[in-house]
Amino acid sequence: MITPLGVYVHWPYCTRICPYCDFNVYKNSNVDEKVWIAALTRDLEHWARQTPNRKLTSLYFGGGTPSLAPIAVLESVIKNCDRLWGFEAGAEITLEANPTDAEQSTFHDIAATGVNRLSLGVQSLDDGALKFLGRNHTAQSAISAITLAQSNFERITFDLIYARPEQSLDDWRRELTQALTFGASHLSLYQLTIEPGTAFDRQVRAERWQPAEDALSADQFDLAQELTGAAGLPAYEISNHAAPNAQSRHNLIYWRYQDYIGVGPGAHGRLTLNGARVATEALANPQEYLAAPKVGVSELETLDQEAQLVERLTMGLRLNEGITLYADDPFYTDDARAAKLQQAIDDKLVLLQCGRLTATQHGRLVLNRLLYELLG
Ligand SMILES: C[S@@+](CC[C@H](N)C(=O)[O-])C[C@H]1O[C@@H](n2cnc3c(N)ncnc32)[C@H](O)[C@@H]1O
Ligand code: SF4
């Protein structure tokens, strides 16, 4: 069996920083494409030496806003991936884009590099909400970006953020119903999270507004399951919905706890090297990353069995398909762990059937509590 391998490339720049976002992002600065190409090539070559005789299942340009990256950088990464590993047949090459008018004009050139899946950060189809979210596009430009993307790329997906303050259940029903009319085969629906250190965090602390009530967010989550299921895009992960065979192959690698390489500032990787599970993290600061002499890695850690179990559950229980438990898993070999698992089953947070552990719909909604019950 082929073991999937993905490459994630982090492009850290955005034209402005959204008030909810805590990714490793920086306001656009002068980009020297030659310097970027050299640094990304340096790291791709480093990781290719560690992972010989493997082909890539997927390549993912995330950010930040990789639709702002020079086309020459995208071309160079794709060519290097082809040269160093080669792509499996039907490999997925995704790029995240913001739906501004300026970026739409580059879709054709982006598609010509070999990107075959575009992920659009639509966030909302309501102009007032887009303003609140600090976005520099309108609902109309998002809709035209979706249409244009559909004519340029084999597959598209777009993100929406719900559970916004003052968004009623009916508002969400209207917005999601409209979103489902565009014919995308994949949707990511995220509940607004107030991340520490963001502008939204400061506003909430200053009591300028209040986040949505948990009960309403839970109703909105349930409504999303219902509407997407009825439209033929059922959830396959807590926040992700797809038509059959349209799941994100790249993100499935993360959730199935398979191997992926991370290059670009702050990118994370997980690799199985000589039988050991290794976690990697690239230098987060772009200048330090670009200047690194050999490889832009800040951390390399070998994960012990317990750390791997925590990660495998944290990622795998997000998926509807859940995870396989093996005979030597602590849930079978350790009485205290077995009791915790039984408690989570009794609380209807998980199901264990034929050696497969899956979270129930309610369990997925309260995943942090579930993980605490199982692992705490
Ligand atoms: C790397 S970001 C998006 C890429 C692109 N720059 C954009 O903004 O469209 C991935 C997605 O995470 C979601 N996201 C980021 N921060 C979030 C938050 N605090 N709460 C909910 N969703 C969030 C947004 O939907 C965003 O599109
Ligand atoms: S949400 Fe997207 S555009 Fe906004 S700051 Fe984060 S990565 Fe950049």
φ and ψ of 293, to 5 deg: -75, -40
Are residues 172 and 56 located together in one domain of the fold? yes
Question: Is the beta carbon of 309 within 6 A of some atom in ligand 2?
Answer: no
CATH code for the domain of 374: 1.10.10
Are residues 249 and 367 located together in one domain of the fold? no
Question: Is the beta carbon of 243 within 6 A of some atom in ligand 2?
Answer: no
**Which residue segment(s) compose the domain that 331 sits in?**
304-376
pLDDT digits over 58-71, tens only? 999 999 999 999 99
- Per-residue pLDDT, averaged over 23-52, amounts to 95
- Of ligand 2's listed atoms, the one at least distance from the Cα of 98 is 3
Of the residues 253, 269, 290, which one is the last residue of a structural domain? Answer: 253
Nearest Cα residue to atom 6 of ligand 1: 65
pTM, full prediction:
0.96
Average pLDDT, rounded, for the chain: 95
CA of 246 to the centre of ligand 2 (A): 24
* Tokens coding 268: 């994370």
CA of 108 to the centre of ligand 2 (A): 22
Are residues 249 and 308 located together in one domain of the fold? no
Are residues 222 and 108 located together in one domain of the fold? yes
Are residues 206 and 135 located together in one domain of the fold? yes
Are residues 72 and 218 located together in one domain of the fold? yes
CATH code for the domain of 234: 3.20.20.70
Task: Report yes or no on 263 lying in a domain.
Answer: no
Q: Domain tally for the chain?
A: 2
CB-CB contact of 24 with 266 (8 Å) = yes
Q: Which ligand is nearest to the CA of 69?
A: 1
Are residues 234 and 329 located together in one domain of the fold? no
Q: What percent of the chain has pLDDT over 90?
A: 90
Are residues 78 and 169 located together in one domain of the fold? yes
Are residues 168 and 310 located together in one domain of the fold? no
**How large is the greatest C-alpha to C-alpha distance in the chain, in angstroms?**
60
Are residues 98 and 195 located together in one domain of the fold? yes
Task: Report yes or no on 271 lying in a domain.
Answer: no
The count of other CB atoms within 10 Å of the CB of residue 147 is: 13
Are residues 240 and 308 located together in one domain of the fold? no
Task: Report yes or no on 280 lying in a domain.
Answer: no
Are residues 201 and 311 located together in one domain of the fold? no
The count of other CB atoms within 10 Å of the CB of residue 54 is: 17
Assess whether pLDDT exceeds 80 at residue 1: no
pLDDT digits over 316-347, tens only? 999 999 999 988 888 989 999 999 999 999 99
Q: What percent of the chain has pLDDT over 70?
A: 99
Question: Is the beta carbon of 23 within 6 A of some atom in ligand 1?
Answer: yes
CB-CB contact of 42 with 296 (8 Å) = yes
Assess whether pLDDT exceeds 80 at residue 237: yes
Question: Is the beta carbon of 121 within 6 A of some atom in ligand 2?
Answer: yes
Name which of 371, 281, 355 is nearest 321 in CA terms.
355
Question: Is the beta carbon of 316 within 6 A of some atom in ligand 1?
Answer: no
pLDDT digits over 249-288, tens only? 999 999 999 999 999 999 999 999 989 999 999 999 999 9
